[in-house]
Structures are given as structure tokens and as C-alpha cells.
Amino acid sequence: MTSVTPTTDRPVTGTLASGHTTKHVTLATIALAMGGFAIGTTEFVTMGLLPEMAHGVGVSIPAAGHVISAYAVGVVVGAPLIAIFGAKLPRRGLLLVLMGTFALGNALSAVAGSYGLLVAARFFAGLPHGAYFGLASLVAASMVDPSRRGRAVSRVMLGLPIANVAGVPVATWMGQHLGWRSAYVAVAVLGAITVALVALFVPHREADRAATGRRELKAFANVQFLLTLLIGAIGFGGMFAMYSYIAPTVTDVTGLSKASIPLFLLSFGLGGTVGTFVAGRMADWSVMRSMVLGSIGMGLSLALFTVTAHQAVLALLTVFLVAVLGSVLVVNLQMRLMHVAGEAQTLGAAMNHASLNLANALGAWLGGLVIAAGWGYTAPSWVGAALSLGGLLVLVLSGALHRKGR
């Protein structure tokens, strides 16, 4: 396994493969990104189908909201456990198992006959989420020259924003017109397609025989690893504080009809796509500097949204900007974790999405508190700006310790 010394913030991943043509790398990347597309679709489509799902299993809409939480808990639980116990397995084989499990979890969601079974199925479907993205990032980075690893990882993660642009709207339409269960059937099919593509195009590698669960767990003794997780959990919570309440903000603050909400969701998805492209090149330039720029930019754009939310065009552009800068932070957090984890590569790569799901819960919770306190729908964006500042402060501490260690 290759590595770099602690004196650089260049990303590090597993062994660099040789003999891969551009065509091989492109096909493998598409296969891996397809999994991200499926995961992004299932993660966000539930939010658009809550009323239908609540009616279908006979519960209130707030109770149905726990279905979203169950998936997030599955991500947080699954990422470290799968990374620790699957560290010795060949990466392609583990990717196939993870995506097969994901497809099964969504199929079970589609046939769940009761609220309890649906919650359990969503938890099960969330288990592979973080580990899949982590392993896919490691595999993509291992197929290219070290100077292009940031771009390779960003292409794999493109599946998420593209899901927001295309997968979620289509799956939501299906759920509304063909029954909510059809959306999860579609996601299960996407998972099965990913299994086939990964089996066909992702190269096989021998397992790392030296990998052990104990070695992976050592990452949690690494201060830089813990600080990077904290940056994600706090700093990226800022984006979720705003985005969780974008629908009522559009109608109550911007003064537009419900029919305008999809436009804002599209703007967010397009911003995430652009940001992910940009983030890959920025990561190859400097991971730490990119994280700083992403944190500062996202905090400022969230603060700006408290003003621009009152004007339709400016609000739309600001949502796009928040998504761009948020994606820069996410991709570079992934690269940073892969670097600071040292030999615990699998755990390091997988924990990014566990951290981001904690950010989701934190941001949505704090945003809800200020709305309940009567401060209005622009208040979550102020909360988001404050969380971005909190993440930036942790990042500054991480950088200071990094320089001291040199």
C-alpha cells in the first residue's frame, strides 16, 4: 500500500494500479457512479413521498418522518461496522455484496406491509451507504495517477448530485402516479444494474491480507481523523439546516407557489453537480485549502440567503451557490479522511458519509428549533452560517496541529 508523509495534504489511497486504459477507467467509474446515483435517489425520494407513504402504512406524516431517520441511522451504524469487518475482503467483491444488500433493502421497502417493517427495511437499506461510497472512492483513486485522484473520487461522487437532478424527480413522479412502492422498486432495479456493471467493469484486486478490524479501529485514535469527522458533522450541518426547510421558505418567504419548489430543488442539484466537478480539481491542487474555501464560501452564501430569499431569482442563484460550495467541502472531506486514516483506508473512506448523515440530523434539528421559536424560515440559514463557522474553527485547529506536527 502506498502512502505519503504527514508533511503534505495530498490525498492518499490504496495501491495505484497499472495497465488501465482510459476506457477501462471510464467504464469502471461509470459503474461506481451508478451506485451513487441509486443511493442518492433512495436517500432523497422518501422526503418527497412522505404523505403517500404515511397513508400507505396508516400513520401520520410526522411518524412517517422516522422512516428518513431510520435510513440515516443505518448509514451511521453500517459505515464503521462494514469497514471494520470487511477490511480483509477484496474490494470489488465487497462492493458487489454492498450493492446487493442495498438492492434487497429497497425491494423490502417496496413490499413492507406495515410501518414497523418499513422502518426496519429503510434501516437495512441504509447500512451499505457509507461503506459503498468509501470503497468506491478508494477503487477509483487506485486506478489513476496520484495527481488525478481527487478528480477520480469526485466523478464517483457525481452520482449523488445527478440523482437530485434526475433520479429523485423521476422516482417522485413514479411514486405519486404509480404508488409510492414503485419508487423503491425502481431503486432496487438501479441497485441490481450497478451490481452487473461493477462485476463487468471494476477490476479485481487481491485482498489486503494485512488488514484487520483492529488496524481499522486505530483510526479512531488519530486526532486528525476525529477532527475531520467533526468538521463534516458540524460544518456540513449548515447546508442541511437551510435545505431541510427549503420548501416552506420558497412559499412563505420568497412568496412563490408550491409549483416553484422543484425549480429550487433542480438548482440545488445542478449546483451540486458543478461543485463536484470543481471539487475534484481543487482536491488535486490542495485538499486543506479547498476545505477552507468551501467552509468559508458556504457560510457566507448561507448568510446571504437570509437576504436573497425574499427575491425569487436571487434566491434561486444563492441555493445554487450553496450547493456548489457544499460539494467542494464534501469531496475534500472524503479525500482528507482517506489521507489521515493512514492504514485504516476502508474505515477512513467510509466514515465520511456517516459524518454527513450526522450533519443532516444536526442541521435539520437546529433549524427546526429556531423555526419553532418563532424566528421565521430565514433563521435556519443563520443557524447554517453559524454551523459553517463552527466547522471552520475545527478545521483551523486541525490545520494548526498539522503544521505543528511537521
Q: Which domains are assigned to the chain?
A: 17-211 (1.20.1250.20), 212-406 (1.20.1250.20)
pLDDT score of 201 more than 50 = yes
Q: Average model confidence (pLDDT) for the chain?
A: 87
Please, which pLDDT band fits residue 13 given cuts at 50, 70 and 90? very low
What integer is the mean pLDDT of 236-256?
88
pLDDT score of 15 more than 80 = no
How is 95-134 classified by DSSP, letter by letter? HHHHHHHHHHHHHHHHH--SHHHHHHHHHHHHTTHHHHHH
Q: Is 181 helix (H, G, I), strand (E, B) or coil?
A: helix
Residue 406 is predicted with a pLDDT of 67
CA-CA distance, 131 to 137, in Å (whole number)?
A: 10
Are 278 and 324 in contact by the 8 Å Cβ rule? The answer is yes
What integer is the mean pLDDT of 138-163?
88
What integer is the mean pLDDT of 233-246?
89
Are 305 and 315 in contact by the 8 Å Cβ rule? The answer is yes
Are 238 and 383 in contact by the 8 Å Cβ rule? The answer is yes
Residue 189 is predicted with a pLDDT of 97
Model pTM score? 0.80
pLDDT score of 140 more than 80 = yes
Please, which pLDDT band fits residue 11 given cuts at 50, 70 and 90? very low
Question: Comparing C-alpha atoms, which of 328, 352, 288, 293 is closest to residue 10?
Answer: 288
